[in-house]
A = this chain, B = another copy of it.
Amino acid sequence: MSTALPEAKEPKRERGKQRVADLLDAGAALFVEKGYDATTMTEIAARAGAAIGSLYQFFPSKESIADALVTRYTERATKALERLMERAPAASSAGLADMLIDLMLELRADRDVTAALSQAVADVVERRRPTRHAFRGRIAAILRIANPGVDEDAAAAAATMIAMVMKSVPVLADQEAEAAAPLLPQARIMLALYIDHVIHG
């Protein structure tokens, strides 16, 4: 039973993983489209091609879907930031600004989901606090590597400002189409100016 069919459960697990991914994607899409509250568990199941019972097999509550989605975003964001940290020390102000903007561009889809959830699921903001704190800590660290003269508090404040600009990247990216002028380059400039001011100003 164990050696005879070692991979017997593989397809099942495989299928289960696919199910979970589909369900998560369906939830993500719907949460962005219509908001957390307006999205129905039945809808999520339907879009994933699953029965409502199946959805509850994997996610015991609506909030657990939100949790999973936030976790997914956190993991991806963390990894992306780690990759960025390696290249950051060598970068100029403008280079750093670009990296940060590009980071958000990469995380854009996930970020939209998290934004939608932050409003509706009170818990999410709370849960994300340490992550956000860590995120800013890394940015502050980068700043202080570039200029050790910047004191901790100043670096922390600057990191918050930088995070704020980064947060607007998905929104700006969405407006690209309708706006007459290119917004992202302006965001890069704004960020570069500010970083430069913090480091060399």
A residues bordering B, Cβ < 8 Å? 34-35, 37-38, 116, 119-120, 122, 152-154, 156-158, 160-161, 164-165, 167-168, 171-172, 175, 179-183, 186-187, 189-190, 193-194, 197
Contacts and interface: CB of A to CB of B under 8 A. Distances in A.
Contacts of A119: 35, 116, 119-120
**Secondary structure call for the A interface:** helix
A36 to B, nearest CB: 8
Contacts of A120: 35, 37-38, 119-120
B180 A171 contact: no
B193 A179 contact: no
A193 to B, nearest CB: 5
Contacts of A153: 180-181
A160 B189 contact: no
Nearest to A119: B119
B194 A181 contact: no
A141 B46 CA distance: 49
A181 B154 contact: yes
Given A120-B37, A190-B194, A193-B193, A183 B171 contact: no
Contact of A157 (B156, B181, B197): B181
Contacts of A190: 161, 165, 190, 193-194
